[in-house]
Amino acid sequence: MPEIKKSIRIVTSDEALLASVRAAVSGLKGWTLEEPLSIEALLKASVPSGDVILLDAWQRSENVYESCRRLAGKTKCRTYVVTDPDNALAEPIALFCGATGTLRDESRVRSVMRKALKAAATRRGSGCRWATRRR
């Protein structure tokens, strides 16, 4: 009898997050990663009860908590909101909206910091207007 694989379904447009999840799933036996979906596609699809849904808190298409409310009761999956590690309010709001919980994405914070530091390094001077004025 063939092995029944469970799927992780993700709603994101963040390539870094998708790559992290893809790498993590590749090491899990019996699990596959579905390509990024929209909330509408998840609502229309017949999602098996053992699957996991990951919702990116930074998705631009709709508020992630509204997405949780729309999915609550319509899928029999565990649903997690992927958020940054400093968001203390994410978990209680996600639970209230029907999510199973939250996952903290440390790599997202590192990538945002890297971009900010790179942008700051390419600016001329200190970046402060008052510091570059001549008196």
Over residues 34-60, mean pLDDT: 87
Q: What is the CATH number of domain 6-132?
A: 3.40.50.2300
pLDDT higher than threshold 70 for residue 23: yes
For the chain, report the end-to-end CA distance as a whole number of angstroms. 82
**Between 79 and 2, whose confidence is greater?**
79
Break the chain into its structural domains and give their ranges.
6-132
Report residue 78 CA to chain centroid gap: 14
Per-residue pLDDT of 77-122, as tens digits, reads 899 999 888 888 999 999 999 999 998 877 665 565 566 666 666 6
Whether the predicted model's global pTM rises above the 0.85 cut = no
Q: Calculate Rg over the CA atoms of the chain.
A: 19
The length of the chain in residues reads 135
